[in-house]
Structure 1
Amino acid sequence: MIVTYPHFEPHFPRDEWVLPRILEHQARVRPDRPALSWTDEGTPLSYAELNAEVNRYAHGLAAAGVKKGDKVVLYLPNSLEFVLLWYALTKIGAVEVPVGEIQKGAFLAHQLKLSEARTMITTPDLVARVAEVEADVPALEQCFILGAPDCARPQGLSRVAMRRVEELRTANDANPGVVVTPEDIAAVLYTSGTTGMSKGVLMTHSHFYFFAEEDVQMTGLTEDDVYMTGFPFFHGNAQFLTIYPCLLVGAHCVLYKKFSASDYFGRAARSGATVANLLGATMAFILASPPSEYDRKHRLRTIYAAPLSVDLAGKFTKRFGPIEFVDGFGQTEISNIFQTPRGVYRPPGASGVLMDQWFEVKLADPDTDEPVPEGQVGELMIRPKVPGIITVGYLGMPEKTVEAWKNLWFHTGDAMRRDETGWYYFVDRVKDALRRRGENISSFEVESVVRQFPSVAECAVIGVDADEAGGENEVMACIVLKQGQTIDFPALIAFCDERMGAHMVPRYLEVMDALPQTPSEKVKKKELRARGVTANTWDRQAHGVRLQSEIKAARRA
């Protein structure tokens, strides 16, 4: 029997999938319930207070010339004002374009130019970076500065008008009354750009809503929950997998400036958080932090881990208590396609089951688009069954939109397989897969073993050019160690040799201080591949370290 995700009725009808309408609804039906808190020390804004404060900014933005359909860049660090301004833009039908605070130079210029935004909101520190690329973004006309004591013009900024964000906050707290529909564009979220310059994903209000609804269903979120996040607000994880889900059900969201591994459970205890999420290597970072009095003094019942590191989950619950882990699998462009049903046994390593109420999928050969046989690895391709739940395209890149929709299937670039019961398993990014001596290798699967080695905090596995004819790739593991730890390379090789096929065991190992990452915590493997083998790389073959299969073969010879 094939398992699929349970069908569900969304909290709001599809013609109401509009953020400002939902905020106004919550302000009416639960005006005094806590909505947002800035850190666990802040006094919560109630839903009525939140709606009123958002309206004050919405009227100010409209007075500043921002109209329905205009794109406005939020180039800001995490702050309460970030959320207020994001919501305010939706109130007048404008389009939020969040840009990561780490962006600068050519990457910042690319995102600003692609947005064609006339208006930006940023900080005194970040506006200096804008000055460096001002000539490359001719559409930009005005810049509102958050937290600026004055409007002293940074050196080099000569054309763009500057004002203080405080000028946007008016006394008018009435709902603006601008007609916003589910089909209107709500936001442009930039992809991570792991293989090239980032693309701007056009997200309608209905797409934004649906992603949040999926999170609500998966975590079992209710108005009695407290959901915390310190992940970057410009990223979808914070926006439509934490903050918006709380708005949807009337829960309390607690916001932090940055993620903290050492204080993760301290925050959970102080905020009363019942739900949280983790990204990438953050689970390993928390486990590597020193023991704390808060390790078991918290109310966390559910953590949405994306992806869930199976090798670390057992260690996590052993230390921090019986927390339920859920996982979903998707992309900014397509929402979650697979999710973990609550209370259902999840096979180790599974990414989830198909949300067949909403999507149809196929696993196909990426070169031909022909379906692969059951159980084999293929590229995930999808189609929505309901309009408005995936992207309408990439901003300013029609050729990328057409490429993604080749043969009328959205090509995700993710290599996956499905078992006979309907569970789907992520294998690798199609472009990250390795091939060594005729054998396909999943970097994801090799990484999951290397991470289990006691001194390893995180790793990324890549393919580097082989030094023999026909070798295709050799396996290289780039490793970050736990604080204060050292590593015995031959011991790690033996550890891997016991747990994976000989063709998968890394030949090359290198310890790094940190892995190059995008703002959304994804490893830039293209950068690691370009770096390749260095003078600091340890070579198993050069050091004469042999695998058990090699030793046995030598004995037979």
Structure 2
Amino acid sequence: MRGHPKLDDLGPALPRERWTLVEAVRHQARAQGEREFLSFENGERFSFAEFDRLTDCLATALADLGLTAGDRILGLLTNSKEFMITMIATHKLRAVFVPVNTELRGGFLEHQIINSSPRMIVVDDNLMGRFSSFDPSETGIETVVGVGDESSPDISKLGLLAEVSQVRMDSLLDTTPNTEKLADPSPSDVCTIMYTSGTTGPSKGVLMPQGHCYLFALGIVAAMELTEQDRYFCCMPLFHANGLFMQVYASLLAGSSCHVTKRFSVTDWLNIVREENVTVTNALGVMPEFIFRSPPSPSDRDHKMTRILAIPVAEEWGVAMQERFGVKLRQGFGMTEVNMVAYSDLDDPVMSGCAGPPLSDFFEVIIADPDSDVELPRDQVGEILVRPKIPFCFNVGYFKMPDKTVEAWRNLWFHTGDAGRMDSEGRLFFVDRIKDRIRRRGENISSYELEQTLNEYPGVIESAAVGLRVPGAGGEDEIKAVIAINGPSPDPEAFLDWCVPRMPRHTVPRYLEFVAELDKTASGKIRKQAIRDAGVTEDTWDRESIGYVISRS
């Protein structure tokens, strides 16, 4: 193992008291000027200097609309120029950006809006209908900023929110910038709230300071050995830390360029890599294996890409993937709350689950007994616990959820809920998840929120949702829901037809079972492990067996 380079010397090489994304944008606007920074699949391209100028324009306009330090602005936006500009413009006012998953609808979305209580929302025109059932008096929303090509979109889709102030993004970007209205955030300023799915409760808003976001990006600059000559390819959603901080903002800090698409497509992936002269990319969840399982081609090495951050990787296909595409794979471990705390070396052999040595300049990482929090010897499996060594490189709690914050920080360690081990060479290995977290299509899913929605169906008494590992799922979970129903069981297709408009696509169960009652412990807890152990039974209905398709609309 070569070990990790000194991060302070990388990227803009800013002193730690200036570790903010705003400072990075301003620094690179001066240093890189009109060199290309970002491009999008619709053909839009802009430079470091233009990005700084556009964010000044929008920040000035938002200040004129009354946005001030500490206010929250929620974005329901697809991967786009407007997403990126909105975030940094918000930060230039020391306000807080709240990006939310564009798949959210119904109670999932309502919880995050009510919890974050934003003064403004910025929304793509084609997503306005998601807000039709919300009452602005319950949310505190004062202004809706619409994004799209239409000059006069149908705002009636907003329901009661159509009654609040409406403005268009294009008009705000035409504002003459006034830097006197802008602010200089510090690394300690909470600048972003990202929601992460809970297991026994609703999604939690992670409070992320500027220093936390900056180190997310700087860690990738080191791990992927980025330079100004690199070109990143981001096909992951910007409402998650990987796409936003570990690809786009890593490119910003490195002074390299980044090409952004709206979503991952295994059939288009290599063509885009080739056409855009991509040198580095990230692949998360099922993506790496999907890429490897795609049909081989004589042109698989006809590209400029040399590095992929791939999480997870299995030895059985990881080595072959490197050889096939002529790239080096790097793994790591992290989560929204704790940052990326470990990376493998590019020269390390591919080992299943190997995240590499922890970034010891910034984090303490131990493996502990899940019941006692006592540190375990090397090579024993326990829970991965993390805490920071420097201020503001870590979450500072869950928004409006002090009980969940205290629970996660038991005994002065942050509990990740993930099982792992540390080998004799000090490398961290991810083993599995602990308890009831479900992961599908690169998303952590709250079984609690899913069950709350299922329980709204007429006649449902209660439900239990679990993740099952089945062949062909790429190492991720397929969702099984066992539903206690009062009366005859509903038609499974009709039940899913009811579910689809009320929940994100990736949370719609694949497997359904209807029962008279759920098996419980003596203390009244549902025996979820028994459901997992049973897996797919003769009583389980599988939507894929009949070709049930969920549209993206």
Q: TM-score, normalised by structure 1?
A: 0.77
Distance 1:341 1:218 in 2: 7
Unaligned stretches of 5+ residues in structure 2: 446-466, 475-499, 514-527, 542-553
Distance 1:22 1:237 in 2: 18
Q: C-alpha displacement at 1:162, in angstroms?
A: 2.4
Q: Deviations over 1:72-91 (max 9, x none)?
A: 00111111211111121111
Stretch deviating more after TM superposition (86-95 or 344-353): 344-353
Q: Deviations over 1:398-453 (max 9, x none)?
A: 101111111111111111111111112111112169xxxxxxxxx99xx9xxxxxx
Please say if 1:388 is aligned against 2:392.
yes
Q: How does 1:528-543 map to 2 (within 5 A)?
A: 532-535=535-538
Residue number among 4, 22, 25 corresponding to 2:24 in the alignment: 22
Distance 1:55 1:526 in 2: 49
Distance 1:162 1:196, change over 3 A: same
Distance 1:33 1:432 in 2: 46
Q: C-alpha displacement at 1:304, in angstroms?
A: 0.6
Distance 2:365 2:507 in 1: 25
Q: Deviations over 1:63-122 (max 9, x none)?
A: 111111111001111112111111211112111100111100001000011111010000
Contact 2:21 2:210 in 1 (8 A): yes
Equivalent in the alignment of 2:172: 168
Please say if 1:287 is aligned against 2:292.
yes
Stretch deviating more after TM superposition (388-397 or 345-354): 345-354
Amino acid paired to 2:32 = R
Stretch deviating more after TM superposition (524-533 or 284-293): 524-533
Contact 2:76 2:121 in 1 (8 A): yes
Q: How does 1:215-230 map to 2 (within 5 A)?
A: 215-230=220-235
Equivalent in the alignment of 1:152: 154
Equivalent in the alignment of 1:511: none
Q: Deviations over 1:473-494 (max 9, x none)?
A: xx96423379xxxxxxxxxxxx
Q: C-alpha displacement at 1:289, in angstroms?
A: 3.0
Indicate the SS of the match to 2:278.
coil
Residue number among 421, 424, 435 corresponding to 2:428 in the alignment: 424
Q: How does 1:267-306 map to 2 (within 5 A)?
A: 267-292=272-297, 294-306=299-311
Indicate the SS of the match to 1:126.
helix
Contact 1:184 1:205 in 2 (8 A): yes
Q: How does 1:41-120 map to 2 (within 5 A)?
A: 42=43, 44-120=45-121
Distance 1:374 1:257, change over 3 A: closer
Q: C-alpha displacement at 1:245, in angstroms?
A: 0.6
Aligned length: 467
Residue number among 14, 35, 38 corresponding to 1:36 in the alignment: 38
Distance 2:394 2:119 in 1: 26
Q: C-alpha displacement at 1:166, in angstroms?
A: 2.0
Q: C-alpha displacement at 1:371, in angstroms?
A: 1.8
Contact 1:4 1:422 in 2 (8 A): no
Distance 1:294 1:69, change over 3 A: farther
Stretch deviating more after TM superposition (328-337 or 348-357): 348-357
Please say if 1:237 is aligned against 2:242.
yes
Indicate the SS of the match to 2:392.
coil
Equivalent in the alignment of 2:183: 178
Distance 1:221 1:395 in 2: 33
Q: Deviations over 1:482-521 (max 9, x none)?
A: 9xxxxxxxxxxxxxxxxxxxxxxxxxxxxxxxxx9x9898
Contact 1:232 1:520 in 2 (8 A): no
Indicate the SS of the match to 1:59.
helix
Please say if 1:408 is aligned against 2:412.
yes
Contact 1:280 1:522 in 2 (8 A): no
Amino acid paired to 2:189 = D
Distance 1:481 1:305, change over 3 A: closer
Q: How does 1:365-514 map to 2 (within 5 A)?
A: 365-431=369-435, 477-480=469-472
Distance 1:348 1:99, change over 3 A: closer
Distance 2:101 2:137 in 1: 18
Q: How does 1:511-530 map to 2 (within 5 A)?
A: none
Contact 1:38 1:79 in 2 (8 A): yes
Residue number among 197, 205, 216 corresponding to 1:200 in the alignment: 205
Q: Deviations over 1:523-553 (max 9, x none)?
A: 9999996685443669xxxxxxxxxxxxxxx
Stretch deviating more after TM superposition (424-433 or 89-98): 424-433
Stretch deviating more after TM superposition (128-137 or 199-208): 128-137
Amino acid paired to 1:9 = D
Distance 1:97 1:173 in 2: 23
Distance 1:521 1:212 in 2: 27
Q: Deviations over 1:353-386 (max 9, x none)?
A: 1211111222111111122233211111122111
Contact 1:38 1:256 in 2 (8 A): yes
Please say if 1:209 is aligned against 2:208.
no
Distance 1:58 1:293 in 2: 49
Q: Deviations over 1:222-260 (max 9, x none)?
A: 111000111111111111100111111211011111111
Amino acid paired to 2:238 = F
Distance 2:109 2:468 in 1: 31
Equivalent in the alignment of 1:138: 139
Equivalent in the alignment of 1:323: 327
Amino acid paired to 1:33 = R
Distance 2:219 2:65 in 1: 35
Distance 1:297 1:184, change over 3 A: same
Unaligned stretches of 5+ residues in structure 1: 434-442, 448-459, 461-474, 483-515, 539-557
Indicate the SS of the match to 1:97.
strand
Distance 1:169 1:229 in 2: 24
Indicate the SS of the match to 1:209.
helix
Stretch deviating more after TM superposition (383-392 or 143-152): 143-152
Q: C-alpha displacement at 1:291, in angstroms?
A: 4.2
Distance 2:101 2:131 in 1: 13
Distance 1:96 1:226 in 2: 26
Return the index of the structure with the highest Cα Rg: 1
Q: C-alpha displacement at 1:193, in angstroms?
A: 3.9
Distance 1:55 1:523 in 2: 41
Indicate the SS of the match to 1:127.
helix
Distance 1:525 1:402 in 2: 35
Please say if 1:332 is aligned against 2:336.
yes
Distance 1:520 1:271, change over 3 A: farther
Contact 2:331 2:354 in 1 (8 A): no
Contact 2:384 2:416 in 1 (8 A): yes
Indicate the SS of the match to 1:351.
strand
Q: C-alpha displacement at 1:318, in angstroms?
A: 3.4
Equivalent in the alignment of 1:504: none
For the aligned residue pairs, the C-alpha RMSD in angstroms reads: 3.3
Distance 2:110 2:511 in 1: 21
Q: C-alpha displacement at 1:288, in angstroms?
A: 3.3
Contact 2:329 2:346 in 1 (8 A): no
Residue number among 233, 248, 251 corresponding to 2:253 in the alignment: 248
Q: C-alpha displacement at 1:3, in angstroms?
A: 8.3
Contact 1:4 1:354 in 2 (8 A): no
Distance 1:382 1:363 in 2: 9
